[in-house]
C-alpha cells in the first residue's frame, strides 16, 4: 500500500501505511492524523541527483535525501526547472584536474550537483525580507557557494535569488543564471570596457551553453559577430544571428591571418600566444574555461602579453555570479526580444544521466533543462 493510503483491514478496522509501517486507524481523528503524517513523511524527503566519486555521467544516480530546512537568512525553493552547464560536467569529471584541490582530491566533498535553478519559494528562514512563500525565483547557487539544484528542493541564502521576470517560464528562467551572466560579463573587461557598435567579435564555442547568449548579446551591442562551432551546428549558429560561422573542424581561427576586436572563448583549446595573432591592436581576449594548459597560459601569459603590448588577454577571474545590475540588464535584453533562451532538450530528473551525457558529448544546441 503506498504511503498514506488508507484501506480496509477487517470488519470495523482501517489500516494505513506511513513510511512503510502499517498503522491501525480508529476513528476520524486518527484518519486525519494519518493524512497529516503521510504528508509530512513525503515532504521530509526529496529526490536528488548525487555522486560519490569522480567519473563519467554514469557515476550520477538519483536517490532520496532529507529535504533541507531553511536556516536563518535562507530561502527554501521547490525546484521547477534546472539547467545543465559545462561546469556541472567539469565537476563530475574534474577538468582541469587541479580543481580537485577545491572539490576533494580523491572524491567529491559535496555529493549533490547542479548550480542553476528556477522555482517557487516554499518557506523562508528567520530574517528573510525579500521573498515570501509563493514567489517565483531563479538563481546560480555558485554565487552562494552552494550546489545541488538537480533536486526537488534547494535551500540557499536569500541573496542568491532574484525574482523571475513576469511571464517568463521556469524552463527559460533556468537557462539564464550561469550561462547568460557569463556571456554578458565575458563581453566586458574588468575595468568596464565593453563591445562597441561596429566592432568585430569572435565567439568560440558559439553553439553550447554560453555561446548562444554571447552571440545574441554581441549582436544587441551592435557588433559584427563570427561564431566558431562544429560543422554540424553551423546552421544553428547562423539562426542565432551570427554574421559568419566558422567550423573548427575545417579551419583554425588562429591561423587564418584574420583579426577581431574581441574574442570570447567559452572553452579554450589554443594558447594565448596563438590567439594573439588573431587579435587586433588594443583588442580583448577573454576565456571562460577549457583545458588546463590554455587556462594556465591565459592566467599567467595573458597579463604578460598585456604588459608588453596593447592587447588585453586573460582568464575571466572577475566573474560575479548573478550580479544584480547584470541580471537587470539581461532582463532588459530579453524584454526587448534581443536575447532569447534557446532550449535544445528537456529531461525529467530520472533521466539526469542522459541529460548530462548529451551535453558532455557535445550534442546540445543551446541549453538542456531538467524539469520537475
pLDDT tens digit sequence for 290-335 = 777 777 777 787 777 877 788 888 888 888 999 999 999 999 999 9
* pLDDT, average across residues 191-217: 97
Cα 307 from Cα 301, distance rounded (Å): 10
| Nearest CA among 159, 178, 155, 201 for reference residue 91 | 178
Tell me the per-residue pLDDT of 334-355, one tens digit each, with 9 for 90 and over: 999 999 999 999 999 999 999 9
Q: Model confidence over 37-79: pLDDT tens digits?
A: 344 445 689 999 999 999 999 999 999 999 999 999 999 999 9
The per-residue pLDDT for 291 is: 78
Please state, in angstroms and rounded to a whole number, the distance separating the CA atoms of residues 229 and 237: 8
Q: Which SS3 state, helix, strand or coil, does residue 239 take? A: helix
Q: What's the pLDDT band for 13 if we cut at 50, 70, 90? A: very low
**Full 3-state SS string of 46-111:** EEEEECCCCCCHHHCEEEEEECCCCCCCEEEEEEEEEEECHHHHHHHCCCCHHHHHHHCCCCCCCC
d(CA 83, CA 178) in angstroms, rounded, equals 9
- Minimal CA–CA distance to 173: which of 145, 215, 140, 144? 140
Check whether 32 has a pLDDT greater than 70: no
pLDDT at 21: 40
Helices of type H across the chain: 28-43, 86-92, 100-103, 170-175, 179-186, 211-220, 234-240, 272-275, 292-308, 324-335, 352-360
Average pLDDT of span 130-149 = 93
Q: Give the chain's mean pLDDT.
A: 88
Question: Between 203 and 190, where is the model more confident?
Answer: 203
Please state the length of the chain: 372
Which is nearest to 299 in space by CA: 284, 315, 276? 315
Say what the pLDDT of residue 210 is. 97
Task: Give the other-Cβ count within 10 Å of 42's Cβ.
Answer: 15
β-pair type (224-229, 200-204): parallel
Q: What is the mean pLDDT of residues 266-293?
A: 90
Predicted pLDDT of residue 42: 53
Q: pLDDT-based confidence at 29, cuts 50/70/90? A: very low
**What pLDDT shows up at residue 43?**
63
361 SS3 class: coil
pLDDT band at 280 (very low <50, low <70, confident <90, very high): very high
Pick 330 or 191 by higher pLDDT.
Answer: 330
Indicate the SS3 state at residue 354.
helix
Mean pLDDT of 24-35: 44
User: According to the model, what pLDDT value does residue 39 have?
Assistant: 42
Amino acid at each position: 500500500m503506498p504511503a498514506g493510503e488508507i484501506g480496509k483491514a477487517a470488519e470495523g478496522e482501517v489500516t494505513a501505511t506511513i513510511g512503510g509501517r502499517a498503522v491501525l486507524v480508529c476513528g476520524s481523528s486518527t484518519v486525519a492524523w494519518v493524512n497529516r503524517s503521510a504528508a509530512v513523511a513525503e515532504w521530509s524527503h526529496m529526490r536528488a541527483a548525487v555522486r560519490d566519486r569522480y567519473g563519467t555521467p554514469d557515476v550520477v544516480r538519483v536517490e532520496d535525501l532529507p529535504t533541507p530546512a531553511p536556516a536563518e537568512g535562507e530561502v527554501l525553493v521547490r525546484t521547477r526547472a534546472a539547467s545543465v552547464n559545462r561546469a556541472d560536467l567539469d565537476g563530475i569529471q574534474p577538468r582541469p584536474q587541479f580543481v580537485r584541490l577545491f572539490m576533494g582530491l580523491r572524491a567529491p566533498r559535496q555529493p549533490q550537483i547542479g548550480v542553476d535553478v528556477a522555482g517557487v519559494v516554499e518557506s523562508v528562514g528567520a530574517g528573510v525580507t525579500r521573498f515570501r512563500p509563493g514567489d517565483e525565483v531563479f538563481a546560480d547557487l555558485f554565487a552562494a557557494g552552494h550546489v545541488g539544484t538537480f533536486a526537488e528542493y534547494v535551500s540557499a541564502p536569500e541573496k542568491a535569488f532574484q525574482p523571475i521576470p513576469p511571464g517568463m517560464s521556469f524552463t527559460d528562467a533556468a537557462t539564464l543564471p550561469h550561462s547568460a551572466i557569463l556571456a554578458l560579463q565575458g563581453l566586458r573587461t574588468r575595468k568596464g570596457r565593453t563591445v562597441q557598435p561596429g566592432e568585430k567579435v569572435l565567439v568560440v564555442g558559439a553553439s553550447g551553453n554560453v555561446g548562444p547568449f554571447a552571440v545574441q548579446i554581441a549582436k544587441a551591442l551592435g557588433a559584427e559577430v563570427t561564431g566558431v562551432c562544429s560543422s554540424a551546428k553551423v546552421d544553428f549558429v547562423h539562426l542565432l544571428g551570427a554574421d559568419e560561422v566558422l567550423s573548427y573542424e575545417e579551419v583554425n581561427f588562429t591561423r587564418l591571418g584574420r583579426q577581431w576586436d574581441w574574442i570570447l572563448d567559452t572553452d579554450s583549446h589554443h594558447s594565448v600566444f596563438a590567439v594573439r595573432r588573431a587579435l587586433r591592436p588594443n583588442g580583448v581576449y577573454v576565456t571562460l574555461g577549457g583545458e588546463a594548459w590554455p587556462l594556465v597560459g591565459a592566467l599567467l601569459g595573458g597579463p604578460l602579453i598585456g604588459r608588453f603590448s596593447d592587447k588585453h588577454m586573460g582568464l575571466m577571474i572577475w566573474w560575479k555570479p548573478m550580479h544584480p545590475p547584470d541580471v537587470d540588464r539581461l532582463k532588459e535584453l530579453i524584454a526587448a526580444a534581443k536575447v532569447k533562451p534557446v532550449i535544445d532538450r528537456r529531461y525529467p530528473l530520472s533521466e539526469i544521466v542522459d541529460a548530462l551525457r548529451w551535453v558532455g558529448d557535445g550534442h546540445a544546441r543551446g541549453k538542456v533543462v531538467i524539469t520537475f
